[in-house]
Amino acid sequence: MSQLEIKDLHVSIGDKSIVKGLSLTVRSGEVHAIMGPNGTGKSTLAKAIAGHPSYTITSGDVLLDGKSVLPMQPDERARAGLFLAFQYPSEIPGVSIANFLRAAIQARLGEGEELDATGYYKRLYSKMDLLQIDRKFTSRAINDGFSGGEKKRCEILQMAMLEPKFALMDETDSGLDIDALRIVADGVNALRSTNLGVLMITHYQRLLGYIVPDHVHVMWDGRIVKSGDKSLALELEAKGYDWVKNELIPA
């Protein structure tokens, strides 16, 4: 049982304060959804936790099983068990998915430990089948010329291969048509287990129809202003973000 604790987190980009005191705890096996309008700091939260160099954490802490991840480099955080599924995954021409994933798995092995290539490909192909990804995919360059749906499936494939303790999923539904959304959601649902905690960031309720959350949080201007169960998402969908603005924000 693992735990990701976000404690009174404040994040800035340059001089601009974006996340303004956010606290949240996610445990293994739980799926939390953070909903909120554009510009409220949802993506900033995810990137800051993953260690993006453009974001400065001015106060607060992020603890993984009681240990702060803030002194760690992004790659150390990833190896410690955090995974960020990007809203806009980078296109990297010339680096094949197979080589990239091998390097990522190799980085998790001990000194002098060699990757078992046979086992690696067996596992890779079974995850690809799960996500309905063509085998030829592995020789393609990372996200290079991928459709929106392919990019998101590629993110989930990486998540499946790297088996993180906690996944931060940043607008995983954006840019997906309904078929692609279903495949991605099925993939995430297949990965749901007692060993994985998920923090799902989304603008729309749509995704939550496919990946049903245990907890829903509404974010506004850098803070969580309301938390509840999955019914909160439906209420938000029905009433709109004006409801948040007019009724949930203290004047």
Partner 1 sequence: MSQPSSPLATSATGSFTPELFAAHLASVAHLPAWWLDRKRAAWDRFTALPLPKRTDESWRFATLTGLKLDGYTLPPAVTPAELGHAPIGIATAGKLVFANNRLVAAEPISAELAQQGVIFETLQNALLKHGDLVKAHLLAQPPKQGSEKFSALHTALLADGAFVYLPKGVELALPLAVFHYAAGPGAAVFPHTLVIAEEGAKATVVDFFRSADAGAHFACGRNDLYASHSAQLTYVAAQTWSRESLSFQSNSTVARRDARVLALNLHLGGRQSRHESHSQLQAPGAHSEMLALTVAHGTQEFDQRTLQIHQAPHTSSNLLYKNALLASAKTIFSGLIVVDPDAQKTDAYQSNRNLMLSDDAEANSLPGLEIQANDVRCTHGATSSRIDAEQEFYLQARGIPKADADELLTFGFFEEVLSKLDHAPLHDALIDLIKIKFNPPV
Q: Which C-beta is closer to partner 1: that of 85 or that of 216?
A: 85
Q: Which of 16, 66, 71, 90 binds partner 1 (CB under 8 A)?
A: 90
If one asks whether residue 44 binds partner 1 (CB under 8 A), the answer comes out as: no
Q: Which of 24, 34, 35, 84 binds partner 1 (CB under 8 A)?
A: 84
- Binders in 49-78 for partner 1, by CB under 8 A: 50-53, 73-75, 77-78
Q: CB 201 → partner 1: shortest distance, Å?
A: 15
Query: Applying CB under 8 A, which part among 94-102, 112-120, 124-132, 224-232 lies near partner 1?
Result: 94-102
Task: Give the list of residues 6+ apart from residue 203 with CB closer than 8 angstroms, or none.
Answer: 35, 36, 37, 38, 42, 171, 174
If one asks whether residue 79 binds partner 1 (CB under 8 A), the answer comes out as: yes
- CB-count exposure of residue 195 (10 Å: 0-12, 13-18, 19+): middle
Q: CB 150 → partner 1: shortest distance, Å?
A: 16
Query: Cβ(81)–Cβ(64) under 8 Å?
Result: yes
Query: Cβ(196)–Cβ(164) under 8 Å?
Result: yes
SS3 230: helix
Q: Which of 36, 89, 187, 222 binds partner 1 (CB under 8 A)?
A: 89
Q: CB 155 → partner 1: shortest distance, Å?
A: 10
| Total residues interacting with partner 1, rule: CB under 8 A | 29
If one asks whether residue 99 binds partner 1 (CB under 8 A), the answer comes out as: yes
- CB-count exposure of residue 153 (10 Å: 0-12, 13-18, 19+): buried
SS3 72: coil
Q: CB 142 → partner 1: shortest distance, Å?
A: 8
Q: Which C-beta is closer to partner 1: that of 67 or that of 108?
A: 108
Neighbouring C-beta atoms of residue 103, cutoff 10 Å: 11
If one asks whether residue 213 binds partner 1 (CB under 8 A), the answer comes out as: no
In whole angstroms, what is the distance from residue 65 CA to residue 78 CA?
A: 14
Task: Give the list of residues 6+ apart from residue 84 with CB closer than 8 angstroms, or none.
Answer: 46, 47, 49, 50, 167, 168, 170
CA distances to 3, 121, 153, 188, 217 from 166, rounded to whole Å, are 9, 24, 18, 12, 17
Site string for partner 1, 144-163 (x = CB under 8 A): --------------x---x-
Residues that bind partner 1 (CB under 8 A): 50-53, 73-75, 77-79, 83-84, 86, 89-90, 92-95, 99-100, 103-104, 107-108, 141-142, 158, 162
